[in-house]
Amino acid sequence: MTRPPNGPLLITGGCGFIVSAVVRLALARGMAVVNLDALTYAGSLSTVAAVSDDPLYTFVEGDIRDPSLLRHVFEEHRPARVLHLAAESHVDRSIDGPAPFLETNVMGTFHLLEAARRHGVVRFHHVSTDEVFGSLGPEGQFTETTPYDPRSPYSASKAASDHLVRAWGTTYDLPVVISNCSNNYGPYQFPEKLIPVVILNALAGRPIPIYGAGQQVRDWLYVDDHAEALLAVLEQGPLGESYNIGGENELSNLELTRRICVLLDEMVPRAAPYSDLITFVADRPGHDPRYAIDPSKMKGTLGWCPSVSLDEGLRRTVRWYLEHRAWWEGLQPRNGLGVRLGLGGSS
């Protein structure tokens, strides 16, 4: 069965941090969007509230692990393309309880691939992470040909899903593309991630936890730049290709935290510098020392490059959290927030 090429775009996980930015951008560009989201602990309808009344927007609450639900969604909405971002994504949670990561990221992707194959979509864009490549030394960057070397339950589950997508493309001729991104930041990021943890702990006068010595290096990508890149891959990327999407903003966790503290000193001054709250805590098991992405292929073939510098992106992000207190305060009772995770406890 072949879907009409002008059918809507099915986006999975559209009430999450990165995905909601893609939903908002796609609608702004006049695309019809079906947002399929299970509304787990990290999802919130508030992230898409601004577009909920858009006539091009449809929300479906449902889980990609449910084949019958997927069958219903494809039969009712007849999507032409799929942009798959729904995933369990927090490394610390995967260390303490890996089962949901395998169930969602591996089996959920499998069920979605089967539904897309059965209903003849014209494009399936699977969104992954740079963590599937493992870790780097002081030099070098991940490219699209870097061998996979996942080192956490989360990254292993994403690597497995990447392999499934490629296998379905080769074996069943499913029209697939894949992208792997670096660390995202920006508005609506769930408060268990590093940057919102730093901001919110600082505002509350609580210790700002830094794992180990804070020397782990990450490549930071502003979420709106990532949304632009994902739509570029979706619309222009040749089938069967993969693309690395990076911000070209490498920084250690400690230096990143200090920069956020300086911004808070400026925007919400207090008697002592916020950096006084920095506290070093036990490191995460198997913490990768460095990630860095080479986005040359994105630049050269699709004409995309990041537009927001790290300094500007951090300023926007800190300001957003200061101006949207009601949003993050409403999430504080959710499971795991404010509790140290990732020390290897049993699920």
Q: 241 has which bridge partners?
A: none
Closest of 136, 134, 129 to residue 242, by C-alpha? 129
- Radius of gyration of the chain from Cα atoms? 20
Residues with catalytic function: 130-131, 154
CB 94 within 8 A of CB 149: no
CB 253 within 8 A of CB 185: no
Rounded distance between C-alpha atoms, residue 58 and residue 235, angstroms: 21
DSSP assignment letter at 214: S
Sign of CA dihedral 338, 283, 186, 178: negative
Mapped onto helix, strand or coil, the DSSP state of residue 127 is: strand
DSSP assignment letter at 290: B
